[in-house]
Amino acid sequence: MTDYPHALPRPKAELAELEKIWKVPTGFRLLTAVNNTYIGLFYVGAALLFFILAGILALLMRLQLAVPENTLIDQGTYNQFFTMHGTVMMFLFAVPVVEAIGVLLLPQMQAARDLPFPRLSAFAFWAYFIGGLVFFGSLFFDLAPDGGWFMYPPLTSTRFSPGENADFWLVGIGFIEISAIAGAIEIIVGILRTRAPGMTLDKMPVFAWSMLVFAGMIVFAFPAVILATFLLELERAFDWPFFIAERGGDPLLWQHLFWFFGHPEVYIIFLPAAGMVSMIVPTMTGVPLRAYKLIVVALVATGFFSFGLWVHHMFATGIPELSLAFFSAASMAVAIPSGIQVFAWIATIAAGRLRLTVPSLFILGFLAIFVIGGLTGVMVAMVPFDWQVHDSYFIVAHLHYVLFGGMVFPVFAAIYYWLPAVSPGRLSERLGRWAFALMFAGFNVAFFPMHIAGLMGMPRRVYTYAEGLGWEWYNLVSTIGAFTLAAGVAVVLADVLLNFRLSLAGNAGNVWRAGTLEWLPNSAHGTRSIPPVTSREPLWDDEKLAGDVDAGRYYLPGAPTGGRETLVTSAVEAVPQYVLQVQGPSWRPFFAAVFTAAFFLLLTVKLVMPALLCGVLTLAMIIAWLWQTDPGVNHPPVDIGGGTVLPVYVTGSSSHSWWAMVILLLVAASLFIALIFSYLYIWTVSPEVWPARMPAVIWPLASAVAFILSSAAIAFAGRMLARRWALCLSIILACLALAAAWYFEFQGQWQSGLRPSASSYAALVYTVTAVEGQLVVTAVIMGLYTITRSLAGLLTPVRRATYDNTMLLWHYTVGQGLLGLLIVHGFPRLAG
């Protein structure tokens, strides 16, 4: 078999060395584990814990509403319950669980040993888990937010919500946003750069496509909510009036920013679930997925179109008719790609013979429920209908049909389907069928009557209702359904407790006879060797593949550099490019996450000094963690098999870290675009607060010159990598010029007499400066870090990834600074 990259038998010591290198720490050092399998399972487990906690809140609310004029829960507590239920389900369950399944399965699906930044995954998980637990704990101290999960001002302004409850939401979810973005960067780079050789984009599993779109949407959607929470917290803490109408603000600005995140969020949750369905259906029917390319088209199109729908949550706010019509049309357009996927699944089921296993049952349940939710979605996309049912229980029913049907059912199908891939046993078919029956029946009994209650006028978020309105029976039936649904979830939990055992030593094997690579024999190091991929269902095309992979016939069967490695391939054609040395277990991501969560939560309760201390400690941990990256050429090129010799270190646009930095800058750019939208929006609403007198032109000119000088200095530093002192001087000059550029802009505004609390205009101008200031501080820290590495001899013309990333950040900071100057100083003059 000369076609194989490696001949058999492999040296005996090779596998033992591989296992030793990838060994997962035990005991309390398990906290330092970074293997995607462990972090993925921790992540899934934590997300399910939050699902159960939020579900318990839902049951308590249903008990309260079971009968009219009930006094089980008082109004204030009920407000906290529905706010926490929505927030926890959306931020602590729905997004994390799909991210978790991605972290768990993507490397296996792509035959990679791990994701490219395992410590980033660990950091994302621990920040989310620790922060999430403390956030949920606010309920027990009467400190939980109570303004609804979308936290509309003015209800959440200091005037109407003077306590710290709203701050818990605004600051507290900061770490969740950081965690989600960190995970998204990891997933994008992982999917595009660590696929098995030959796994071109059109051979990539649909789940990977859906996760790619999911992560891309997080990059562009989350910055809007980060900005919104930042603005509202600035208003609450420092009286900067972004949303206060008396001083030129507009509460609707919050709604624009929130729903620019919030609507794509629905698809951020749904698309990975659709990806899971597209993986499970072909396996259960025994035929390849029908219309693969159309499904990819549908996923990508949904990702784009979902950004044109945000105003459909605002139809009842009195916006102009033309806007209503635009967004109504866009809302209907997005139904097309969703419909394509549903028809493709039905066609696949029709083409094969569906095995009625537990995953299949959950998929069928999903199809039925999601189609109903989609139909009511088209109904509420029509403006006159939306006006009738807005803020009623019809909307509660609709959103649960879409989210629970569209996401929770596929996730439970995924649990039953994929747990055998990470456990020696599989879950019980008998218990699973009971669970499905209870969940499907319970869900429909709980939520279908809400459509009718809503049409009869029952508003959402009421903690009780009067007798005689005709809502009594519908509510009682809903409560019975909710407990039936909970019983179904309890059966799943019992099944998991009884039958799931975490073991990376071996799994249950390819129990469903699936065709994709996650069903290859796996261990802590992933597959023994990395096979070339020539089709979408490699295990169906080559029955010997699993055995050959496990025997080490394919690429990288050992650990040629003596450390953790994975193959990096090109983004489109998946051609092997280099061997990435992956980082192993460490306390640094764990403590960085602990301090990040502590920073945000201490800030929430106004313990500023301890919060700052935690911020400094976070920074220290991240720098200590970064210090071990950028190893340089520490090993000669390695033969991965079949005569393919690859380098172990590359720089520039071929490097995975360059990609991660570019994606991070896209996040920053998205936030800046959302800020500029806010600035222009406020101008359309309150042109009267725009200033009659602007700062003297000399200030922005001086700032622009300093910005350009700093960019030139950092570019010059790139030519001085071999000359240490010239490099240090160039970077110091760049730091000084950048700081001066920011200072000139701030000073110009301040000297003109503008104060941020005076008007929404002033607040936005200072926010543009503040956001730029954050980037300047980060760039200066990176500059000083680059100098330190140079002085330590860790930066050379070859070993230059640290400089390349600093340079990217620097030029972006300057670009955003110049654009900010142009808008802040140019637009008022242009608009007169």
CB of 378 to other proteins, least distance (A): 13
Would you count residue 808 as binding other proteins (CB under 8 A)? Answer: no
Paired strand residues for 580: 566
Task: Name which of 200 and 644 has its Cβ closer to other proteins.
Answer: 200
- Residues 90 and 266: their CA atoms lie apart, in Å, by 9
Q: 556-615: which residues touch other proteins (CB under 8 A)?
A: 570-572
Would you count residue 687 as binding other proteins (CB under 8 A)? Answer: yes
Of the candidate residues 680, 758, 770, 784, the single one contacting other proteins (CB under 8 A): 680
21 CB-near residues (< 8 Å, 6+ apart): 525, 559, 562, 563, 564, 584
Task: Name which of 4 and 827 has its Cβ closer to other proteins.
Answer: 827
Would you count residue 230 as binding other proteins (CB under 8 A)? Answer: no
Would you count residue 497 as binding other proteins (CB under 8 A)? Answer: no
Would you count residue 493 as binding other proteins (CB under 8 A)? Answer: no
Would you count residue 301 as binding other proteins (CB under 8 A)? Answer: yes
Helix (H, G, I), strand (E, B) or coil at 580: strand
* Residues 634-673, mask of contacts with other proteins (x by CB under 8 A): ----------------------------------------
Would you count residue 337 as binding other proteins (CB under 8 A)? Answer: yes
220 CB-near residues (< 8 Å, 6+ apart): 264, 307, 666, 670
Would you count residue 326 as binding other proteins (CB under 8 A)? Answer: yes
B/e letters for 642-656, b = 16+ CB within 10 Å, e = fewer, are: eebebebbbbeeebb
CA geometry: angle at 817 spanning 812 and 818, to 5°?
Answer: 100
The number of residues that bind other proteins (CB under 8 A) is 35
- Residues 682 and 679: their CA atoms lie apart, in Å, by 5
B/e letters for 239-263, b = 16+ CB within 10 Å, e = fewer, are: ebbbbbeebbbbbbbbbbbbbbbbb
Of the candidate residues 57, 151, 296, 580, the single one contacting other proteins (CB under 8 A): 296
Task: Find the length of the chain.
Answer: 832
Instruction: Report whether 255 contacts 152 (CB < 8 A).
Output: yes
User: Of the listed pieces 329-337, 437-445, 637-645, 714-722, which binds other proteins according to CB under 8 A?
Assistant: 329-337
Would you count residue 307 as binding other proteins (CB under 8 A)? Answer: yes
- Residues 287 and 348: their CA atoms lie apart, in Å, by 7
Instruction: Match 């979408």 to its residue by tokens.
Output: 536
CB of 536 to other proteins, least distance (A): 11
Element (H, E) at 577: strand 576-581
Task: Name which of 195 and 553 has its Cβ closer to other proteins.
Answer: 195
Task: Name which of 204 and 704 has its Cβ closer to other proteins.
Answer: 204
Of the candidate residues 4, 152, 304, 743, the single one contacting other proteins (CB under 8 A): 304
Q: Which two tokens stand for residue 5?
A: 């990259």
Would you count residue 27 as binding other proteins (CB under 8 A)? Answer: no
Of the candidate residues 9, 318, 320, 652, the single one contacting other proteins (CB under 8 A): 320
Of the candidate residues 332, 617, 701, 784, the single one contacting other proteins (CB under 8 A): 332
CB of 572 to other proteins, least distance (A): 4
Q: 556 — alpha (psi -120 to 50), left (phi > 0) or beta?
A: left
Q: Which two tokens stand for residue 421?
A: 């891939």
Would you count residue 297 as binding other proteins (CB under 8 A)? Answer: yes
For the chain, report the end-to-end CA distance as a whole number of angstroms. 77
CA atoms 603, 607, 613, 614: torsion sign: negative
Would you count residue 826 as binding other proteins (CB under 8 A)? Answer: no
**Hey, how many other C-beta atoms are within 10 angstroms of the C-beta on 553?**
23
Task: Name which of 682 and 775 has its Cβ closer to other proteins.
Answer: 682
CB of 321 to other proteins, least distance (A): 6
Would you count residue 346 as binding other proteins (CB under 8 A)? Answer: no
User: Of the listed pieces 104-112, 315-323, 618-626, 708-716, which binds other proteins according to CB under 8 A?
Assistant: 315-323
Would you count residue 322 as binding other proteins (CB under 8 A)? Answer: yes
User: Of the listed pieces 137-145, 290-298, 363-371, 694-702, which binds other proteins according to CB under 8 A?
Assistant: 290-298
Of the candidate residues 22, 135, 404, 683, the single one contacting other proteins (CB under 8 A): 683
DSSP 581-646: E-----SHHHHHHHHHHHHHHHHHTT-HHHHHHHHHHHHHHHHHHHHT----S-S--EEEETTEEE
Q: Which two tokens stand for residue 8?
A: 């058999």
Helix (H, G, I), strand (E, B) or coil at 567: strand
SS3 string, 199-238, reads: CCHHHCCHHHHHHHHHHHHHHHHHHHHHHHHHHHHHHHHH
Task: Name which of 588 and 656 has its Cβ closer to other proteins.
Answer: 656
Task: Name which of 176 and 568 has its Cβ closer to other proteins.
Answer: 568
B/e letters for 586-604, b = 16+ CB within 10 Å, e = fewer, are: bebbbbbbbbbbbbbbbbb
By DSSP bridging, strand 644-646 and strand 565-569 are unpaired
CB of 704 to other proteins, least distance (A): 25
Would you count residue 747 as binding other proteins (CB under 8 A)? Answer: no
Would you count residue 688 as binding other proteins (CB under 8 A)? Answer: no
Q: 169-228: which residues touch other proteins (CB under 8 A)?
A: 200-202
CB of 680 to other proteins, least distance (A): 6
Would you count residue 321 as binding other proteins (CB under 8 A)? Answer: yes
Task: Name which of 328 and 484 has its Cβ closer to other proteins.
Answer: 328
Helix (H, G, I), strand (E, B) or coil at 790: helix
CB of 517 to other proteins, least distance (A): 19
475 CB-near residues (< 8 Å, 6+ apart): 65, 66, 67, 68, 449, 453, 465
Residue type, 814: V
CB of 659 to other proteins, least distance (A): 10
CB of 518 to other proteins, least distance (A): 22
Task: Name which of 300 and 777 has its Cβ closer to other proteins.
Answer: 300
DSSP 696-758: PTHHHHHHHHHHHHHHHHHHHHHTTTTSHHHHHHHHHHHHHHHHHHHHHHHHHHHHTT--TTT
Task: Name which of 534 and 774 has its Cβ closer to other proteins.
Answer: 534
Q: Which regions of 78-142 does DSSP assign to beta strands (E)? A: none
CB of 365 to other proteins, least distance (A): 28
Task: Name which of 448 and 659 has its Cβ closer to other proteins.
Answer: 659
Q: Which two tokens stand for residue 66?
A: 């079971």
CA neighbor of 150 nearest in space, from 612, 461, 432, 392: 461
Task: Name which of 321 and 543 has its Cβ closer to other proteins.
Answer: 321
Task: Name which of 254 and 500 has its Cβ closer to other proteins.
Answer: 254
Task: Name which of 308 and 459 has its Cβ closer to other proteins.
Answer: 308
Element (H, E) at 395: helix 393-403
Would you count residue 686 as binding other proteins (CB under 8 A)? Answer: no
User: Omega before 154 cis (within 30°)?
Assistant: yes
CB of 360 to other proteins, least distance (A): 28
Would you count residue 831 as binding other proteins (CB under 8 A)? Answer: yes
Would you count residue 330 as binding other proteins (CB under 8 A)? Answer: yes
Residue type, 306: S
Would you count residue 829 as binding other proteins (CB under 8 A)? Answer: no
Instruction: Report whether 204 contacts 191 (CB < 8 A).
Output: yes
CB of 829 to other proteins, least distance (A): 14
* Residues 59-98, mask of contacts with other proteins (x by CB under 8 A): ----------------------------------------
Element (H, E) at 451: helix 429-455
- Residues 312 and 329: their CA atoms lie apart, in Å, by 10
Task: Name which of 304 and 716 has its Cβ closer to other proteins.
Answer: 304
Of the candidate residues 31, 237, 300, 490, the single one contacting other proteins (CB under 8 A): 300
What are the residues binding other proteins (CB under 8 A)?
A: 200-202, 293-294, 296-297, 300-301, 304-305, 307-308, 320-323, 325-326, 328-330, 332-333, 336-337, 570-572, 680-681, 683-684, 687, 831
